[in-house]
Chain A
Amino acid sequence: MVSPAAARRIRRDRAPGRTRPPMLLAAPALIGFGFLVLPLLALLVRAPWRGLGRLLSDSQVLTALRLSLECASAATAASLVLGVPLAWVLARVRFPGLALVRALVTLPLVLPPVVGGVALLMALGRNGIVGRYLDEWFGVTLPFTTAGVIVAETFVAMPFLVVTVEGALRSSDLGLEEAAATLGASRITVFGRVTLPLIGPSVLAGAVLCWARALGEFGATITFAGNYPGTTRTLTLQVYNTLETDPQAAIALGLVLLLVAVLVLAALRDRWLRAGSAP
């Protein structure tokens, strides 16, 4: 048995430079890398650096940024609360139709977000099969509200969390859960004291993916929640709007999204590594 930390150390020892990849792999790899990085680079090159401060201190932009961060975080929180138990059920409970349920859960991953937005309207819209009663009984309508944005983002982003956590649960050692049970741990204690700590890094990874997906969400949001400054116009929608009126500002906003993503990934990755290499 090699501890994950030790395994990482071994991998690090074989850092690049020791082996020269064959051209057949190196060439496409290089092109692939360039393809992914070029657009980001273009964004940096074309960015209106001088006017950046003015463009970004615009109150509409700040409102959209705050809305984006709040909604993505709320959607991630909702995904954790609902998605982790869902992943547990998919990974641990055997029932007829499991394969179908799993396929349905992952469907939003491949569904075009706009279609997702339409589907949400059909379900939770004012006229939707459930939304109708939300409106009638509780006076709650989701479309065109910030809650609607969170619903749309959760719908699109939660599968990322579920898939990541389910994978971790499936590959996690059932034996440890059994051992905990023989020591008197109830199933909920096993989940809290053994399962969850062991899959912790995967939950975090899933949450980051989910958050990033929610932050970039556009299609389902604009379809289901509409587009209004302050309530539903997130930064991605703002970019889309601004592109028609002021392309320079749109580039600036793109930079903000890029920066936020990089900062969050860097921060989390850092904590990740430390958590992972701790004995």
Chain B
Amino acid sequence: MSDLSLERAAPRGMIALRGDFDSLAGPCREITGADLPAPLGAAGEGRALLWMSPDELLLLCDPGDVGEVLARLGEALAAQHHLASDVSDARVVFTLRGPGVRDALARITPCDMRPGRFHVGQVRRTRLGQVAAAIRLTGDAAAEVYCFRSVGDYVERLLATALESANRERVAL
């Protein structure tokens, strides 16, 4: 029997950054201290970079730093074709903790949650119930779920239902 918990995370700064990865690498390293993540990966502590697609990253920072980070990006990338958008208010993040995290999520996503297929540190954009969401495995027993703000209540209830069931019975993961 696992003991899973669910929390709506405190607001965080999120910047959707599109561009050629070669030109994004330098400014991103300066701002986050991290190299660009591999596909489906994440990089950085504190300020972090999540891989969204071959031309998109999600840069995470303190909500208060968004303006400064956007300004620095704009300056560093002034000569490069890119698009940096503040999406901090567009999404909500949930944190899930407990050893049954994979098992709970397997109830609501077609994404392969097996340890050998979805590694700790990776990010998967997928479907959660009936909406789009991203899952970031932050540890063996911890995950973050990102979804659009408007469906936050739906996702929260969906996660709570899955967690409650996984708390009752670990099925396969």
Question: Is the A/B pair a real complex?
Answer: no
